[in-house]
Amino acid sequence: MGPATPRPEAPLTTITTPFDPGDPGFLADPYPTFAALRSAAPVHEHPGLGMPVAVSHAACSAVLRGRDLGRIWADAEPAADFPAFNLLHRNSLLEREGEPHDRLRTLVAGAFNRGHTARLEPWVRGLADRLVADLAEQVHTDGSADLMTGVAATLPVEVIAELLGVPEPARSALRGWSNTIVTMYEPSPARVRRAAAERAAAEFVDALRGLAAHRRRHPGPDLVSDLLAAEIDADELVGTAALLLMAGHEATVNVIGNGVLALLRHPAQWRRLVADPGLDAAAVEELIRYDAPLQLFERTAVVDTAVAGHQVPAGTKIAALLGAAARDPQVFADPDDLDVGRAPNPHLGFGAGVHYCLGAPLARLEVAATLDALRRRLPDVRLAAEPPRRPDFVMRGLRELRLATA
């Protein structure tokens, strides 16, 4: 990031309340609002969120890549009420910068790159196929079935459990822990949700400590065993496992849900994909671009800096709105069109810079395996009902996606 000199062509501040992240109308389709904001300025003040938001692709990319901006963890307060939640995040590589981040990322990437995605591929494809086969059977017997409970919410958490080697009963509890902990990432979570998040974090920490003790004595082919072999610190192991569970699970659930919904709303694109499995890889990227599962990432300025001419004083925050970046016409031709063959597709859905998603190859495999199973088991799938949406903005997803056949 360059010196904090405003660029003359960019307005310094646009003081507005650009959108209400809790408004169901906005959540149903935030993209026209993003387009209006983007055409007015690349960065807007957002008094409701208490920080400016970047909305152009270039400005979001600058937020994610800027070395004057960092993920600076601030403990949830009062800290005495959140010991486990804070422990998980303080020790997560996603929440650190500089030497501790780079050391931990090298260690985790080294363990991850010991062939875990290749090891898991046949298992992931087999599981996706079984889940979609059950879904198809339910569609054929009952007339419709929910993709979210049947497939989207099940596959990613099972994959993380397999990656980490988590046995029962913790395995069955993982999804609930993750869902409960991530409610803290939404703007102003309610008191009771905060208390539940701490309880879930404490149970997760206990389960992981137990798993680590077991794997120290009985190493397996899993990632926890590889991390222990690399002599990871005990708290960092727990923080890493929590990060993999939450980052690796929640986003993938919503890519599958949002992505299949996008395809069903664009039947010609679904037919293209059914006819040509060679499009799977491009389709996965396009589904992540078209309806981003993670809408907002924050950074804190380490020194006085600027993004697209907008001053960000040291110690203050700025957010990148990935859904807005993903529809920027400066970068994507016809950005509101879904094009399963889109190439190139430089979306920021997996982030950019030093925090770029470590699990992208595994996530791509999970979404592609699901699309492949749907193509084979339910080629004539259609939407059975208008899907209800989760009320969250940052983690954008559906509650239910009921499928039927034509």
Which of 147, 177, 148, 146 has its CA nearest to residue 161?
177
Measured from the CB of residue 4, what is the shortest distance to ligand HEM in angstroms? Answer: 22
Is 239 a binder of ligand HEM (CB under 6 A)?
no
Report the C-alpha gap between 364 and 285 in whole angstroms: 8
Stretch that binds ligand HEM, among 10-18, 208-216, 246-254, 325-333 (CB under 6 A): 246-254
Measured from the CB of residue 137, what is the shortest distance to ligand HEM in angstroms? Answer: 27
Stretch that binds ligand HEM, among 134-142, 249-257, 259-267, 338-346 (CB under 6 A): 249-257
Measured from the CB of residue 399, what is the shortest distance to ligand HEM in angstroms? Answer: 19
Which of 332, 262, 347, 323 has its CA nearest to residue 32?
323
Report the C-alpha gap between 102 and 122 in whole angstroms: 31
* Cβ nearer to ligand HEM, comparing 56 with 117: 117
Measured from the CB of residue 293, what is the shortest distance to ligand HEM in angstroms? Answer: 5
Greatest pairwise CA separation for the chain in angstroms: 64
Measured from the CB of residue 344, what is the shortest distance to ligand HEM in angstroms? Answer: 18
Q: Count CB atoms within 10 A of the CB of residue 276.
A: 14
Binding-site string for ligand HEM from residue 280 to residue 319, where x marks contact by CB under 6 A and - marks none: --------x----xx--x----------------------
Give Cβ neighbours of residue 62 (< 8 Å, ≥ 6 apart). 1, 54, 307, 308
Report the C-alpha gap between 342 and 283 in whole angstroms: 8
Is 151 a binder of ligand HEM (CB under 6 A)?
no
Measured from the CB of residue 205, what is the shortest distance to ligand HEM in angstroms? Answer: 18
Pair 42, 56: CB distance under 8 Å: yes
Name the token pair of 137. Answer: 């059977």
Pair 224, 211: CB distance under 8 Å: yes
* Cβ nearer to ligand HEM, comparing 109 with 190: 109
Give the residues lining the site for ligand HEM (CB under 6 A): 64, 71, 93-94, 105, 160, 243-244, 247-248, 251-252, 255, 288, 293-294, 297, 349-351, 355, 357-359, 362-363
